[in-house]
Amino acid sequence: MHTEPNLPAEVAQNPAVREVVGAVDAIEAYVNALVVKTPEQYLEAADRLKQVKAAQKKLDETRTAITGPMNAALKAVGNLFRLPGDRLARAERAIKDKLTTYSAEQDRLRREEQAKADAAARAEQERLAALARKAVESGRTAAAERHTERAAAVVAPVIQREAPKVAGVVGREVWNFKVENPALVPREYLMVDESKIRAYVRAMKADAKISGVRIYKEEQIAAGSR
């Protein structure tokens, strides 16, 4: 008998599994030799189709009988860890939010203090430049040169203000977006809603019409199990 590869021994030797695999072997042998050219062959193939559906149902029932207890156990384990996991996730988000807020506030203060330092430097440069102009007007060339040199040497200090460095904790920039007017979004960023189209086509059938979409009919065979 044909057996599927990599099956655990306890599964491969399960009588129900062996029965299903045997049925699949027989069905595949039939399909490989199948010819449908006469009404009789059509009727026979349709009858075999019901056997295939029955085998599929049996296969699913067998799978569920094996995986059901495992899935129940996995669900129980997931439920056991979900609550503490959710609480830890909330704690992580809360801490990150507070760290981000602190870091953003330090950056705001740094920019504010830097702006004040830059303004003070400009004011001093302008004061010295004014003194230089007055010295030139009064003929005091040496004094004018001193004031000009002092003005050129005025540089605002670089303000350093940031969150402490912590090993394993890294701040980073994340760029995000929010769609404010979908009608203005370029076409290349849009996605066709195939689920909505499929629902419309199935409802309207031959009367369905959508620009850019070819709507056509396919013949399919549906069958139930015995």
Name the pLDDT band for 220 (thresholds 50, 70, 90). confident
* 94 or 54, greater pLDDT: 94
Give the per-residue pLDDT at 41.
93
- Residue with more model confidence, 225 or 63: 63
- In percent, the amount of the chain with pLDDT more than 70 equals 94
pLDDT tens digit string along 15-49?
Answer: 777 777 787 888 899 999 999 999 999 999 999 89
Q: By the 8 A CB rule, do 21 and 3 touch? A: yes
pLDDT in tens, 69-88: 999 999 999 999 999 999 99
User: Which of the pair, 139 or 225, is modelled with greater confidence?
Assistant: 139
Q: What is the 3-state secondary structure (H, E, C) of 34-87?
A: CCCCCHHHHHHHHHHHHHHHHHHHHHHHHHHHHHHHHHHHHHHHHHHHHHHHHH
What is the CB neighbour count within 10 angstroms for residue 118?
14
pLDDT at 6: 60
Span 204-215, average pLDDT: 95
pLDDT for 193 beyond 80: yes
Q: Residues 213, 198: contact at Cβ < 8 Å?
A: no
Q: Residues 6 or more apart from 223 whose CB is under 8 A from it?
A: 46, 49, 50, 52, 53
